[in-house]
Amino acid sequence: MNPGPEPGSDPGLDPGSNPSSDPGSNPGSDPGFILSLSHPELLADIRTLQRELKELEQKFGKAQSDDGVFAASRQRAKSSFFAIMRPRLRKQNPAKYVDRSALDRDLMILQQALKNKVPLEETYD
């Protein structure tokens, strides 16, 4: 004999389902809903802070990518032909290379002659 539906249960629902687990079924269980009823000014503040947080996260992501680009650029500059060869060439003839334009002109010629490859050994400098 089937005792029938339990008191307080809906006979159309699956016996294992819990009607209160659906967030849309009971708006009183949603903290945002309760907050909007009792303190609407706080809800507006929370939304404003959430927007600001999202904007700051986006700015942070952009700053991180900009930092990566800057670090890569700085690394390339450190290993560039001119950055490495300028002091080496100046050391060869300090009197001639007092003028930076003469040094850079000779560096450009040297860069073309060496096909932008920095000589590893400084013994012949």
What's the rounded Cα separation, in Å, for the pair 107 and 88? 10
C-alpha 116 chain-centroid distance: 33
Average pLDDT over residues 100-124: 84
Tokens of residue 51, six digits: 């927007």
What's the rounded Cα separation, in Å, for the pair 115 and 85? 13
Is the Cβ–Cβ distance between 90 and 103 less than 8 Å? yes
The pTM of the full predicted model, rounded to 2 decimals, is 0.39
- Check residue 75 and give its pLDDT: 73
pLDDT digit string (tens) for 4-54? 555 554 444 444 545 445 555 555 556 666 666 677 778 888 899 999 999
Which range of 22-31, 53-62, 73-82, 115-124 scores highest in mean pLDDT? It is 53-62
Average pLDDT over residues 69-94: 83
What's the rounded Cα separation, in Å, for the pair 117 and 106? 15
- Check residue 69 and give its pLDDT: 86
Q: Is the pLDDT of residue 116 over 60?
A: yes
**Where do the structural domains in the chain lie, given as residue ranges?**
29-77, 79-125
Q: Is the pLDDT of residue 107 over 70?
A: yes
Q: Is the pLDDT of residue 1 over 90?
A: no
Please count the other Cβ atoms lying within 10 Å of the Cβ belonging to residue 103: 19
